[in-house]
Structure 1
């Protein structure tokens, strides 16, 4: 008994695999995309709004792929599925380096998004939900923070590579590099569920020892997806994902925002590195805080904190130190999306049909990508400034405070109606 307790539970090895996979895919691909916008538009003579439409195409594909991807994760071998998904995402990203027309970005955005849905959005929360009954919030925070930590390293590297080797070679280097690192790690560490290797989820023994109704409800109870998706709590959760993702989407525009103020691409890469450092700290902080003061209070705190960096970017963006500090704080706040999104879903609807409900709710994320990213680009293209974008983000943060409060009121209605069981 004592020997088994001293062993590292395999759940932590799964988490390590997710850390590398999600960290490399987000830090090496998703968050570096903005660094290429200005060099590509200047080199190929493409408008900023026209190029950023590829983000919208990716978001449309994401929205259409989410329900299919959820079913595929449940049905097929998770390691084979993840290997194919990584090849689609990273391979398509590398192909951007060979393109001479904006249509190339539109075309390869499709396989890139199809792979990204599984690699960066669904696999992590689903696998953590399968493997962890204890420290689930911490595990999510570590996974999200990994994207920031790896991004903190890769953002400046990517910025310097673009400046020295050109945007084409940098696209290829990042895409091929992600495949070379992630695929072996996935094959070595990832397993879909502990039952596959004769284990129980981490912390299950402690849950079984606790015989209280609250513990049983928290572990097994919840709302059926058919009921949840018709509730006000669900619609406010979707709205939360939409606004928070729209807020987070500004990361793709930090580089052109900086360069529009007169900073060079190296500075923009360093600023995005500050963003990534903020993500690391924020992911762990919000995961820890949710265990202490609850998910609802933590989410409200995150939205209010977001007003600070937005205000700094509106008032004193010309100061380089303030700009870097603001982007770091911004990253700190948006880390709450990856950490609190799954936790809010569980808090509102339980574990009963988590993957189905979460997969539906994050369509708000995809819709935000369709709408926010190109709108930000077109606003910059037409006005030469991101001022109106930042004002919009400020308002969305305030609206999200209301959405969180109303979502939990909707949860009480579900409980009173007897739908939570």
Structure 2
């Protein structure tokens, strides 16, 4: 994201959506490919072939990136600038804007990681869905997330980013309510959930990246992004453990999914509240004056 933000001043949302489509495209194709491979070759050979193929693609991509390294490297800072920047990061991390962004993104990572880790357990064990049906459901989920990442990235370039992001979050909240009410014979609800959750999850995930870049792009962007990613990762780990604990205590995921839907709604409200703040990144000097 640091390189992408440096590459694109305009059309950043569309570029981010295209970049993030890769993970969802893999999630849409791999369950089908690996599932058929296990049936034909067994899991050992399938894992070996998948590892060789994926590793080759990753190494090839890294080679292309390193070959273009001169174009992606930022200019060297002036002597003594790094010490000054360190002192300017802290005031930015103490602002209301940063707190609101971290709450919104941390809540979404709490929800997204918990959902992706626990939805298969809920559908297979609690709902009683046949395991043979899971690959098609997850392929639809990730297939819609491919579309969602590009579409919401494109929409963020043309409309207010905060409203676009809030829309994606509310779609995710509605899908969580639908998942909590899932029954074995509700085929329409099942595939409707997969489509809505895929679009909402991917739209929110894409907008998180664009939101941070929109508020903090500049010389301090890398450090602020690293701080946000650290907090979001911890929230994601907390989400997985919390939802597992709720299921153990309640016996199912109903209360957990409803709670996640409420948290998503609160996150959408928090994102909409960011529209009242200035559109550009806060200057460290202004932030320091505000705290003095």
Q: Place the TM-score, normalised by the shorter chain, in its bin.
A: 0.7 to 0.9
Match of 1:356 in 2: 223
Match of 1:139 in 2: 15
Match of 1:323 in 2: 190
Contact 1:131–1:193 (Cα < 8 Å) also in 2: no
In 2, the alpha carbon distance for the partners of 1:193 and 1:279 equals 33
Deviation by residue 1:366-405 (Cα, 9 ceiling, x = unmatched)? 1122211122233334444221221111111111023213
The correspondence of residues 12-411 of structure 1 with structure 2, limited to 5 A, is 125-161=1-37, 171-190=47-66, 191-192=68-69, 194=71, 224-249=88-113, 250-260=115-125, 261-318=127-184, 319-409=186-276, 411=278
Shift of 1:235: 1.5
Summarize the Cα distance change of 1:371–1:297 in structure 2 as closer, same or farther, 3 Å threshold: same
Shift of 1:411: 4.7
Summarize the Cα distance change of 1:291–1:255 in structure 2 as closer, same or farther, 3 Å threshold: same
Structure 1 unaligned spans of 5+: 1-124, 197-223
Secondary structure, aligned partner of 2:286: coil
Secondary structure, aligned partner of 1:310: helix
Q: CA RMSD in A?
A: 3.1
Summarize the Cα distance change of 1:316–1:340 in structure 2 as closer, same or farther, 3 Å threshold: same
Number of residues paired by the alignment? Answer: 272
Shift of 1:314: 2.3
Which is bigger in relative contact order (C-alpha 8 A, separation at least 6)? 2
Match of 1:206 in 2: none
Summarize the Cα distance change of 1:173–1:329 in structure 2 as closer, same or farther, 3 Å threshold: farther
Secondary structure, aligned partner of 1:418: helix
Secondary structure, aligned partner of 2:218: coil
Q: TM-score, normalised by structure 1?
A: 0.58
Deviation by residue 1:112-160 (Cα, 9 ceiling, x = unmatched)? xxxxxxxxxxxxx122112222321111000112221222111233345
Shift of 1:286: 0.9
In 1, the alpha carbon distance for the partners of 2:48 and 2:242 equals 28
Shift of 1:254: 1.9
In 2, the alpha carbon distance for the partners of 1:175 and 1:415 equals 46
Contact 2:163–2:272 (Cα < 8 Å) also in 1: no
Summarize the Cα distance change of 1:406–1:162 in structure 2 as closer, same or farther, 3 Å threshold: farther
In 1, the alpha carbon distance for the partners of 2:42 and 2:235 equals 30
Match of 2:76 in 1: none
Deviation by residue 1:343-375 (Cα, 9 ceiling, x = unmatched)? 111222333321111111122321122211122
In 2, the alpha carbon distance for the partners of 1:281 and 1:183 equals 26
In 1, the alpha carbon distance for the partners of 2:268 and 2:131 equals 35
Contact 1:241–1:362 (Cα < 8 Å) also in 2: no
Contact 2:3–2:72 (Cα < 8 Å) also in 1: no
Summarize the Cα distance change of 1:289–1:233 in structure 2 as closer, same or farther, 3 Å threshold: same
Structure 2 unaligned spans of 5+: 74-87
Shift of 1:284: 1.0
Contact 1:127–1:193 (Cα < 8 Å) also in 2: no
Match of 1:107 in 2: none
